[in-house]
């Protein structure tokens, strides 16, 4: 009987609690590759008339990730959320976390995530509405194994073998190009991230230079291309935009293994990496042949 009474009291209090403090989730996208970073924003709105304290306990914010059939996804660790802060009335706090390292999200399918916060001053828990998302495989369109460069001062030894891959994924009626860095058998994935939208009628080109950096050139618009340079560790070193002139831009390595862009014209863009800096650009060479 006591258990029933507690349940009834909680249900009766729930509308009041939700009117005073609300919790909402938002995802940075609707679908992800396995092991791709999954950034979740937890938005907490305080309209209680009180200043609330959060983040003292390691579990003040908890997540539940479930498959489509309601089965919980295996946790691989606790999401690090401990960080004290005060939230005054009429204020909003946003906590951003990456769930990917802490849940085993490797099987394609439909999933759901919810968040719950603990208000220690009230001894109450408040949950968010669920957010759905998909884990997808995509189609691998290119891959290349390579040896990691030797660190400074290291003696000769067999290199660590890793693998670059480019993957196409259908996303919101568009095609999105992804980068992946793994070990050779793909039992460990070190980095996965979206490169950008790609047109369906053009095939991305990929080359390794003499430092085993990955050079990628792909078309994202009717007359526009992105050029990207990614380090063997999976860091984005450069992103530049090229437009078609009389001929399309292409990548060509010279006799020293340096990759150059031939054709097209470089166009400074707001999303350049480094920002509006040509210092890491390959040499722009006017094209003489299509």
Q: What is the pLDDT of residue 272?
A: 94
Sheet containing strand 259-262, edge to edge, reads 250-253, 259-262, 284-285
Q: What is the pLDDT of residue 19?
A: 58
Q: CB neighbours (10 Å) of residue 138? A: 23
Q: What is the pLDDT of residue 9?
A: 33
Q: Which domains does the chain have, with CATH numbers?
A: 20-135 (2.60.40.3880), 139-285 (no CATH)
Q: What is the pLDDT of residue 198?
A: 95
For the chain, the 3-state helix, strand and coil shares in percent, each to the nearest 5, are: 10, 50, 45
Q: What is the pLDDT of residue 277?
A: 52
- Cα 69 to Cα 67: distance, rounded to the nearest angstrom: 5
Distances (CA, A) of 271 to 27, 111, 136, 167, 227: 22, 32, 27, 21, 12
Q: Going residue by residue through the chain (290 aa), what tens digit of pLDDT does each one get?
A: 333 333 323 333 444 445 589 999 999 999 999 999 999 999 999 999 999 999 999 999 999 999 988 899 999 999 999 999 999 999 999 999 999 999 999 999 999 999 999 999 998 999 999 999 999 999 999 999 999 987 776 677 788 899 999 999 998 788 999 999 999 999 899 999 999 999 998 899 999 999 999 999 999 999 999 999 999 999 999 999 999 998 999 999 988 889 999 999 999 999 999 976 544 444 444 333 33
Q: What is the pLDDT of residue 78?
A: 94
């Amino acid at each position: 009987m006591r258990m029933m009474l507690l349940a009834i009291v909680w249900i009766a209090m729930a509308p009041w609690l939700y009117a005073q403090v609300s919790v909402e989730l938002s995802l940075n996208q609707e679908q992800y590759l396995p092991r791709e970073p999954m950034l979740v924003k937890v938005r907490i709105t305080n309209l209680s008339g009180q200043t609330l304290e959060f983040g003292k306990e390691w579990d003040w914010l908890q997540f539940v990730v479930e498959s489509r059939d309601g089965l919980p996804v295996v946790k691989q660790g606790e999401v690090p959320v401990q960080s004290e802060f005060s939230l005054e009335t009429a204020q909003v706090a946003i906590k951003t976390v990456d769930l990917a390292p802490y849940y085993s999200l490797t099987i394609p399918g439909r999933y759901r995530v919810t968040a719950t916060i603990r208000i220690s001053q009230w001894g109450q828990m408040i949950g968010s509405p669920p957010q759905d998302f998909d884990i997808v495989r995509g189609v691998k369109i290119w891959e290349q194994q390579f040896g990691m460069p030797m660190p400074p001062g290291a003696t000769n030894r067999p290199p660590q073998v890793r693998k670059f891959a480019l993957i196409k994924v259908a996303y919101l009626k568009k095609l999105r190009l992804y980068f992946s860095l793994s070990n050779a058998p793909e039992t460990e994935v070190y980095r996965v991230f979206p490169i950008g939208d790609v047109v369906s009628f053009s095939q991305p080109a990929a080359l390794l230079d003499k430092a085993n950096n990955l050079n990628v050139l792909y078309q994202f618009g009717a007359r526009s291309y992105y050029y990207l340079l990614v380090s063997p560790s999976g860091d984005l070193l450069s992103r530049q935009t090229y437009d078609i002139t009389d001929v399309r831009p292409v990548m060509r390595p010279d006799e020293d293994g340096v990759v150059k862009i031939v054709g097209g014209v470089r166009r400074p863009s707001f999303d350049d990496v480094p920002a509006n800096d040509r210092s890491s650009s390959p040499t722009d060479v006017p094209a003489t042949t299509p």
